[in-house]
Amino acid sequence: MKNRTAIDFSLDDKFGNINKLSNIKSKYKVIYFYPSDNTPGCTIESKEFSDLISSFKKLDAEIIGISGGDKKSKEKFCSQHNLKLLLLSDTDFSVSKSYKVYGEKSFMGRKFLGIKRTTFILNKDNKIIEVFENVKPLGHAAKVLDYVKNINF
């Protein structure tokens, strides 16, 4: 998907507001798909992005987290961990499927369908300029921040 225009979407946030990708006007968009709210790895990843939000904003980069949980789940997740992020609900996984991050996974010998932890970086024209696949949560937000910082040089 790298070097392609990102697929536009409209998804609800924790307040029930509809957020359309094409309406987000920041220079960069960091879209991170994560498996589930309030699970250990997803909490680490989301907290790290939230902790670095001001550094991303200085670079005019908007952070957008997407998973299958509904708006109530997003609200609880944000409240429990004091997350300052835009988290969106992809309850039918249609956006995750269109970005090809939804599919078969395995954990402890069990196979199941779910979101594969993946991050996309988009430019102001919504062109995908980088994709991070098979993401390990710990330290990922800092790696993404370093990448965005280095785009400008």
Phi and psi for 48 in degrees, rounded to 5? -65, -45
Nearest to 61 by CA among 120, 118, 17: 120
Whole-prediction pTM:
0.94
Listed in sequence order, the residues at least 6 apart from 81 whose beta carbon sits closer than 8 Å to its beta carbon are 43, 46, 47, 50
One of 42, 44, 85, 135 is an active-site residue; which one? Answer: 42
**Residue 42: active-site member:** yes
Domain that holds residue 90: 10-148
pLDDT digits (tens, 9 = 90+) for 61-82: 999 999 999 999 999 999 999 9
CATH number where 22 lies: 3.40.30.10
Contact 122, 151 (CB under 8 A): no
**10-residue mean pLDDT series, the chain (153 residues):** 93 95 96 95 97 97 97 96 97 98 89 95 96 97 97 69
Query: Looking at residue 152, what is its pLDDT?
Result: 65
Count up the domains in the chain and report the number.
1
Q: How far is CA 41 from the centre of its chain?
A: 13
> 128 lies in a domain?
yes
> 66 lies in a domain?
yes
> 85 lies in a domain?
yes
